[in-house]
């Protein structure tokens, strides 16, 4: 039986890891053994932080909505409660966008939320 030489596949695997480590400092970008550790760690961080990014954006949207609502004498929690009672189903991303770019449309939403809160009280 013929002997199998693995040089081509090994070289390709090393090349892929070194390519992913491009831009790292020192031997981390050139030495395979060090590069593989750094690349694996970087991939773990990137996976974790893609998940964390969603929470960070949600917090940003809530801050923007809260700032817009407080100009009209309401708090964020009461505003969201008023929207739910009024039957308005807008996500926080679009509410934050309205608060920042369309103050008149956002004011109309605040008025509807306030009316729904007064109707229940």
Question: What residue ranges define each of the domains in the chain, with the CATH number in brackets?
Answer: 7-120 (1.10.1900.20)
How far is 26 from 34, CA to CA, in rounded Å?
10
pLDDT class of 115 with cuts at 50, 70, 90: very high
Structure tokens at 40: 């694996």
Question: Residues 6 or more apart from 14 whose CB is under 8 A from it?
Answer: 32
Question: Quick one: how far is CA 29 from the chain centroid?
Answer: 29
Reported as a single tens digit per residue, the pLDDT across 8-51 is 999 999 999 999 999 999 999 999 999 999 999 999 999 999 99
């Amino acid at each position: 039986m013929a002997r199998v030489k693995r040089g081509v596949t090994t070289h390709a695997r090393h090349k892929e890891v070194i390519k992913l480590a491009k831009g790292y400092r020192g031997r981390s970008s050139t030495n395979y053994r060090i590069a593989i550790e750094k690349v694996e760690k970087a991939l773990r961080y990137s996976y974790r932080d893609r998940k964390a990014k969603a929470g960070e954006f949600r917090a940003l949207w809530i801050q923007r909505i809260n700032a817009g609502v407080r100009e009209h004498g309401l708090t964020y929690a009461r505003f969201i409660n008023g929207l739910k009672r009024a039957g308005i189903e807008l996500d926080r991303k679009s509410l934050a966008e309205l608060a920042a770019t369309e103050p008149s449309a956002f004011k109309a939403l605040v008025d509807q939320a306030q009316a729904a809160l007064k109707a229940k009280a």
